[in-house]
């Protein structure tokens, strides 16, 4: 979340009136994030968020909102756009799409402060998304599949400063590796694509809000899980935490069991997830023209460091992670063999 389109209190008052909401008692800019404009608006009826999509086309906005409405109907804890007096979920505002959401009452938690119980619940929520999404028939293009991320990297690479040579050598090697070893034939469906702590709201141990479906699309479930592992199971200093990994995966597998192919592909999906966020952060925060007061410090180095650990170029818990994934693979294989034996 950020602020790129400035709205006055009077303009916001006029906007929320079209939703049948009372006068705003307080208006505050929300500056976390990096893509869209958000305002937190307090009224006598409660809190609301006014959102302006700065990047997406009207078609893409409609696709995202259709998904949110679908998920909410299934009880998934995501925000849902309100309908105005003309029954519209969004409206034009200076060539951009504007929408209003009821504010979710919960709190954000710093990534390393998320507890094991909360991680287990995050795993369950992610599994719910993947299971509910099976019934969603509308297509949503994956804007961050390997081919697209490779294209972004090649564009970024040619414009990076000369002192990035060591980094580009690593990324060149990684893109070549992923081109040959990423597995495409894995279970797919609706994924979030960006499950970070700042997109999760909690009440106690419970996840009450999953936000920012900007990158949601039809993609590989294990990639979504790998993104969550990279963002939520990493601790400054020691690196990947096996306890955090086991809590997240345990919650997920309580509802949806990973296939043998997914366990086998997990290490490479972790690498691709780290590569993807390294590349898009390089693009967004080094090359895109952004007003410095609006720039949010989401350093590409965070995910570049993870990538180097996953490539086993530096210490950081990769060996324990590989052992846990191998154990998961072996146990799933045992279950499969046992099930076949029972049918005989």
pLDDT of 30: 87
Identify whether residues 54 and 120 lie together within a single domain. no
d(CA 36, CA 54): 5
pLDDT of 335: 81
The answer to whether position 1 is within a domain reads no
- 158 token code pair: 């040619």
Identify whether residues 197 and 94 lie together within a single domain. no
Structural domain boundaries enclosing 32? 9-102
Identify whether residues 21 and 92 lie together within a single domain. yes
Identify whether residues 82 and 204 lie together within a single domain. no
Identify whether residues 92 and 158 lie together within a single domain. no
The residue out of 102, 121, 146 marking a domain boundary is: 102
The residue out of 80, 102, 124 marking a domain boundary is: 102
3-class DSSP state of 333 = helix
Identify whether residues 88 and 146 lie together within a single domain. no
- CATH number reported for the structural domain that contains residue 275 in this entry: 3.90.1200.10
pLDDT of 149: 98
The answer to whether position 273 is within a domain reads yes
Q: Can you give the length of the chain in residues?
A: 344
- 65 token code pair: 């909102």
d(CA 231, CA 227): 6
Identify whether residues 264 and 121 lie together within a single domain. yes
The answer to whether position 31 is within a domain reads yes
Identify whether residues 253 and 307 lie together within a single domain. yes
Identify whether residues 97 and 131 lie together within a single domain. no
The answer to whether position 173 is within a domain reads yes
Walk along the chain (344 residues) in steps of 10 and give the mean pLDDT of each run.
Answer: 83 96 95 80 97 91 96 96 96 95 96 98 99 93 95 93 93 98 96 97 98 95 98 95 97 97 97 97 74 57 96 93 89 75 65
Number of structural domains, the chain? 2
Identify whether residues 86 and 120 lie together within a single domain. no
The answer to whether position 58 is within a domain reads yes
Identify whether residues 98 and 118 lie together within a single domain. no
Look up the pTM and report it.
0.92
Nearest to 127 by CA among 62, 192, 41, 80: 192
212: left (phi over 0), alpha (psi -120 to 50) or beta: left
The answer to whether position 326 is within a domain reads yes
CB neighbour burial string for 137-164, b if at least 16 within 10 angstroms, e if fewer: eeebebbbbbeebbebbeebbeeeeeee
The answer to whether position 22 is within a domain reads yes
Identify whether residues 76 and 211 lie together within a single domain. no
CA trace torsion 162, 163, 167, 170 (10° rounding): 60
The answer to whether position 229 is within a domain reads yes
- CATH number reported for the structural domain that contains residue 82 in this entry: 3.30.200.20
The residue out of 65, 85, 102 marking a domain boundary is: 102
């Amino acid at each position: 979340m950020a602020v790129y389109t400035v709205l006055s209190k009077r303009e916001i008052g006029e906007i929320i009136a079209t939703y049948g909401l009372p006068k705003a008692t307080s208006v505050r800019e929300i500056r976390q994030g990096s893509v869209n404009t958000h305002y937190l608006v307090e009224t006598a009826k409660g809190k609301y968020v006014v959102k302006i999509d700065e990047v997406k086309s009207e078609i893409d906005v409609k696709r995202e909102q259709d998904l949110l409405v679908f998920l909410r109907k299934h009880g998934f804890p995501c925000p849902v756009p309100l309908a105005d007096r003309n029954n519209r979920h969004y409206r034009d505002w200076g060539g951009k799409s504007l929408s209003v959401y009821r504010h979710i009452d919960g709190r954000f938690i710093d990534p390393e402060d998320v507890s094991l119980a909360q991680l287990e619940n995050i795993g369950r929520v992610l599994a719910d998304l993947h299971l509910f999404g099976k019934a969603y028939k509308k297509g949503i293009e994956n804007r961050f599949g390997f081919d697209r991320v490779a294209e972004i990297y090649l564009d970024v690479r040619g414009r990076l400063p000369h002192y990035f040579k060591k980094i580009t050598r690593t990324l060149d090697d990684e893109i070549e590796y992923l081109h040959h070893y990423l597995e495409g034939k894995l279970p797919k469906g609706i994924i979030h694509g960006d499950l970070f702590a700042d997109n999760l709201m909690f009440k106690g141990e419970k996840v009450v809000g999953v936000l920012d479906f900007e990158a949601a699309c039809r993609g590989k479930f294990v990639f979504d899980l790998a993104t969550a592992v990279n963002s939520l199971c990493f601790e400054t200093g020691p690196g990947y935490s096996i306890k955090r990994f086991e809590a997240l995966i345990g919650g997920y597998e309580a509802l949806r069991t990973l296939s043998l192919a997914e366990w086998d592909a997990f290490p490479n999906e972790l690498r691709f997830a780290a590569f993807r966020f390294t590349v898009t952060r390089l693009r967004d925060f080094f090359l895109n023209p952004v007003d410095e007061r609006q720039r949010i410090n989401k350093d590409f180095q965070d995910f570049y460091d993870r990538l180097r650990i996953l490539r086993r170029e530096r210490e950081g818990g990769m060996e324990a992670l590989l052992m846990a994934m191998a154990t998961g693979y072996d146990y799933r294989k045992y279950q499969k063999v046992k099930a076949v034996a029972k049918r005989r």
